[in-house]
Amino acid sequence: MGVDEMMDQLKRACAIAKKDIRIYYLNGPVVIFGILVPGFLFLAFVIGRDLPINFLVAGLLGMTVFFTSTSVTPVIAPTETQTRNLERLAAAPISITTALFGDVLASAFFGIAISLVPVLLGVAFGVTITHPFILALGIVLAAFCFSAMGLIFSSIPTGATSTVMMLSTMVRFPLVFISGVFIPVGDLPSWGQALASLSPLTYLTDLCRYSFQDINNHYPVSVDIAALAIFLMIFMAAATKLHERSLPKRL
């Protein structure tokens, strides 16, 4: 693929991302699962517990990026299947990979934008960001990674968003509790640490803890970044294959 063709595909992906943001940006599932759920989980966890503010903000930031970035992509394909918009998209001169990347762009943008809320909240409460570049890199990489994971849920050939959201919720909530958000990975039993290593949220939470003052990370920074990049490639490749198989069943 030449440079001109790559730029053309990127422009088409950006056009799809703009369409997604305009239609789904403030949709019900986005608001509920992307903003309210992390907030309520955070409050339920911190009430009655004397924990350092930097520890709490790091966990809240990880949850916020995770839930916001996985709240858009699972509902796009089922909704467009139901509204028959998918047929027009399939007839357009655009590849499945480009279309999916456009969905990821919209979801990642939303995740990155909302992540500013817990960051600014932490700064207001006196949390010092000792490694801002690492934090920014981790948030951006994780937002794309989680968005690609959401594409896997949306590959189910159905027009019922409730079915997809139920499946994604069954996967996302257990990941939160094994990813070091509430309990540091080092404090988990050996089997818990093994499970935590299989969750991409673990590595974002680790980077958030490293980026804030006086909080040590469980894995080296290079491992956290490499793990998020690897998960991103795996999720994107798997989502592309699954959507290629499910697209004929949707039309």
Domain boundaries along the sequence of the chain: 3-250
Q: What pLDDT shows up at residue 228? A: 96
CA distances from 139 to 19, 156, 181, 244 (A): 23, 28, 15, 29
Q: What pLDDT shows up at residue 5? A: 73
Structure tokens at 94: 């655009």
Q: What pLDDT shows up at residue 224? A: 94
Q: What pLDDT shows up at residue 167? A: 82
Q: What pLDDT shows up at residue 1? A: 58
Give the C-alpha separation, 149 to 128, whole Å: 31
Let me know if 131 is exposed, middle or buried by CB neighbors in 10 A (0-12, 13-18, 19+).
middle
Q: What pLDDT shows up at residue 3? A: 66
pTM (2 d.p.): 0.87
Q: Is 18 helix (H, G, I), strand (E, B) or coil?
A: helix
Contact present, 115 and 65 (Cβ < 8 Å): yes
Q: What pLDDT shows up at residue 32? A: 63
Give the C-alpha separation, 246 to 158, whole Å: 9
Contact present, 235 and 153 (Cβ < 8 Å): no
Structure tokens at 49: 């517990």
* Stretches in the chain below the pLDDT threshold 70: 1-4, 25-49, 83-93, 159, 213-216, 249-251
